[in-house]
């Protein structure tokens, strides 16, 4: 993979803002705080070969299939759900969701890939992945502006089209005319923009949609249903809010009410895949898999002398710790009191002093495109810049 310098587009900030991307020059933390810095960086781009794109696509489809195997295995062995620190009261809720095969729209694998060795799974953002607008819309329009008319310049990116098709397929399972609610928390620019983009793709697919802040999600105790601001029942709801947080909320108890049949996207069974505890489970099920890294529930000699410690429900690179001779590193955050998993340290591709992570998207069960993030640190965090890519 080549990292190439290129001029920014004139008035690029105004351009991306008009495309629904207002947080282009700031890192947006999960708590909503914004710190200055470069996030969208179009002063460089990465160039891949078509063979590398094929390898990433195949690896993504393979990893998704193995992750589904792992969910099935864990739902057949509920004791494993305890290892993921999922409250026992919600085990049956998750298992029944899996048995029904409640539909999933999207997810994002984070992969280590240097363009030479097989892609390796770092983690799976299976429940509430962001960097979606940047991947689907912003880097695509950058490609159109910078490479229009130039031969053989393409991009691994069919996210937008696949999202619209996924919503169309979902609509066939919904009662005609029933709105699909889209929920985000208040005062978080990134999450609001992501939800509104997803809502727009659903609208393009012909669905009736409504927006609601998660804090305004109501519960009608008489009818035992979730309701919107107008008191109407919410039968289907996309929520950009992690299941592990949902389980802890006061309204979480209502999820278990027999009469409550709200269909959530992502579905409850995705609580398994969004948990980093899936990494040692995958390694137990598929040891030596070429796209997996050795991962364990505790320090293990098989990790060698270089490994990374991750909180099972951590987010955005928080509270991670690298153990490596002469190269220890760590990040802070709010997840340090969680159970940890231990994963062999991946060799991230390095270009011009930057470590690279590939975000590879799955939409409706199929690989749909990639984004590239880079950082001088070996731990990719929420403020790590995202850069566009092409392939030839």
pLDDT tens digits for 205-229? 999 999 999 999 999 988 889 999 9
Query: What is the per-residue pLDDT for 30?
Result: 41
What is the average pLDDT across 326-330? 85
Distance between CA atoms of 212 and 248, rounded to whole angstroms?
20
Confidence of residue 102 (pLDDT cuts 50, 70, 90): very high
What global pTM score does this model have? 0.93
Query: What is the per-residue pLDDT for 5?
Result: 95
pLDDT tens digits for 137-183? 999 999 999 998 776 799 999 999 999 999 999 999 888 889 999 99
Q: Are 158 and 369 in contact (CB under 8 A)?
A: yes
Distance between CA atoms of 120 and 35, rounded to whole angstroms?
31
Beta-carbon contacts of residue 318 (< 8 Å; ≥ 6 apart): 311, 331, 332, 333, 334, 335, 381
Distance between CA atoms of 342 and 86, rounded to whole angstroms?
19
Q: Are 271 and 262 in contact (CB under 8 A)?
A: no
């Amino acid at each position: 993979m080549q990292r190439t310098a290129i001029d920014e587009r004139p008035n690029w900030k105004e351009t991306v803002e008009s495309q629904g991307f207002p947080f282009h020059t700031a890192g947006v933390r999960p708590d909503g705080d914004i710190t200055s810095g470069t996030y969208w960086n179009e002063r460089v781009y990465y160039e891949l070969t078509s063979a590398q794109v094929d390898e990433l696509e195949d690896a993504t489809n393979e990893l998704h299939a193995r992750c589904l195997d792992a969910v099935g295995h864990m739902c057949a062995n509920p004791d494993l759900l305890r290892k993921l620190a999922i409250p026992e009261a919600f085990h049956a809720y998750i298992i029944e969701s899996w048995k029904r095969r409640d539909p999933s729209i999207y997810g994002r694998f984070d992969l280590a890939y240097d363009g030479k060795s097989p892609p390796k799974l770092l983690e799976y953002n299976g429940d509430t992945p962001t960097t979606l607008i940047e991947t689907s819309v912003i880097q695509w329009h950058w490609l159109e502006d910078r490479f229009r008319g130039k031969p053989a310049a393409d991009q691994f990116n069919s996210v937008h089209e696949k999202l619209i098709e996924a919503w169309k397929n979902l609509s066939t399972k919904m009662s005609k005319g029933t709105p699909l609610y889209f929920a985000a928390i208040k005062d978080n620019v990134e999450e609001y923009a992501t939800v509104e983009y997803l809502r727009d793709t659903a609208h393009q697919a012909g669905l009736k949609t409504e927006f609601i802040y998660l804090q305004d999600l109501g519960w009608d105790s008489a009818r035992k249903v979730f309701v919107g601001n107008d008191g109407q029942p919410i039968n289907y709801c996309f929520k950009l809010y992690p299941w592990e947080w949902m389980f802890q909320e006061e309204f979480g108890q209502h999820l278990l009410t027999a009469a409550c049949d709200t269909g959530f996207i992502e579905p409850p069974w995705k609580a398994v895949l969004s948990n980093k505890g899936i990494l040692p489970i995958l390694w137990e099920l598929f040891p030596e898999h070429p796209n997996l890294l050795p991962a364990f529930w505790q320090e293990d000699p098989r990790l060698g002398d270089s490994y990374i410690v991750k909180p099972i429900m951590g987010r955005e690179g928080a509270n991670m710790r690298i153990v490596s001779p002469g190269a220890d590193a760590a990040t802070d955050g709010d997840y340090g009191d969680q159970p940890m998993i231990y994963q062999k340290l991946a060799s991230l591709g390095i270009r011009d002093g930057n470590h690279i992570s590939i975000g590879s998207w799955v939409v409706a069960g199929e690989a749909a495109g990639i984004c590239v993030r880079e950082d001088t640190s070996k731990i990719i965090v929420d403020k790590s810049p995202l850069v566009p890519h092409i392939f030839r």
